[in-house]
Structure 1
């Protein structure tokens, strides 16, 4: 029997992060830097409106296997999907849809095997559990096979 595949964080391979918006343009308190800082007290908080999104650009082509996301309950994406730029291509294409629960715990979203490596990833939150469309994320991690 084969050993289960082990994943590790690919956060150190992210060279650029972009987000759709930041609450009240307050990047110091709610900016994208808080997605990967490991601090349980900080978060990225989008401004109102839908959709919201996060784009991650990698330093090299990678095989991405799953997303780990910890939302703040009440500010959770409802209808979400992942788009990717595959190696050798130039534009984003949808590869997977997911539907988070409205909870505070870290949720794991496996991604399908795309048979190719990725240079960029876009996470789209088409709607939110928040009436105003805001998204709040305390932790985001992108994992791949080791």
Structure 2
């Protein structure tokens, strides 16, 4: 379903950014077997922008949505994870240019939930937090990952 947020924004510097009202992604954490946490990542379909890289499920925010609503909706569309199975903890603006921003919504699940990829995903995978940077990451996600690790380190995982 297309929302009113779908479309490219061109920044003053000529950069192209998806989401007429900005964009949001979901960093969903769940307990890992070793006492740390795992993050749900999406291996982006080859045909998509930056296809073949790993990133958070996410996308364009519609005009009527909060960043939390947009991230949770996009995660449902791309992974099948239901909103009632997660608890939103905080948000972090991880990229901003005049007229556009990307916000990462950090949420917790009590277990590594079953996922169902849509056509935008080659694969969905729960990845141990300390192994995320070993994957070929989407450039935007790669640029924000260390900052997100610092933020998540200060938020105890819900159990």
Q: Which TM-score applies when normalising by structure 2? A: 0.26
More strand per residue:
1
Q: Which has the higher contact order (CA 8 A, sep 6+)?
A: 1
Kindly indicate which of the two structures has a greater share of residues assigned to helix.
Answer: 2
